[in-house]
Amino acid sequence: MYLSNVSLNIMSLGGLALGVGMLVDNSIVVLESIDRYLRDGYSPLEASEKGASLVGMAVTASTLTTICVFLPIIFVSGVAGQLFTDQSLTVTYSLLVSLLVALTLIPMMSSGFKGARSFGSDQPHTPQPAATNRRQPPRRE
């Protein structure tokens, strides 16, 4: 924001308020994917690698879609352009930083977990056997 000469004012703070839901959404999606692999019994390093690569393109696509909505506002002229340029740039910058954090920092930090624990439990996780597509024999009573 500093390089674009955007100061903290009502419009730029409004841009942060607009993008706050999407800011944490990227990291939550990556963490959920990593947690799924941890629950399946992968090591934290493997879970971080597989989880981030699995949802990386989807998170990138959703973030770039939102940026494509806000970025063209900087080309609006007149009073509306003066009002909303700061907001548009703030949303764009914050979403790009959120994407960078979700795809780099979150997997790196989660790969350093000691022991394969899932995020919501206090007990070490025991892997469950994978589901099979075989039909179960009928039960006899």
In a domain, residue 40? The reply is yes
Tell me the pLDDT tens digit for each residue of 86-112: 788 888 888 999 999 999 999 999 888
For 8-30, write each residue's pLDDT tens digit: 666 666 777 777 878 889 999 99
Q: What is the pLDDT of residue 7?
A: 61
The tally of domains found in the chain comes to 1
Any domain includes 22: yes
The whole domain housing 83 covers 11-110
Instruction: Specify the CATH number for the domain of residue 26.
Output: 1.20.1640.10
Averaged pLDDT, 50-62: 94
Cα angle, residue 49 at apex, residues 45 and 53 outer, rounded to 5°: 170
Is the pTM value of this prediction over 0.85? no
104 in any annotated domain? yes
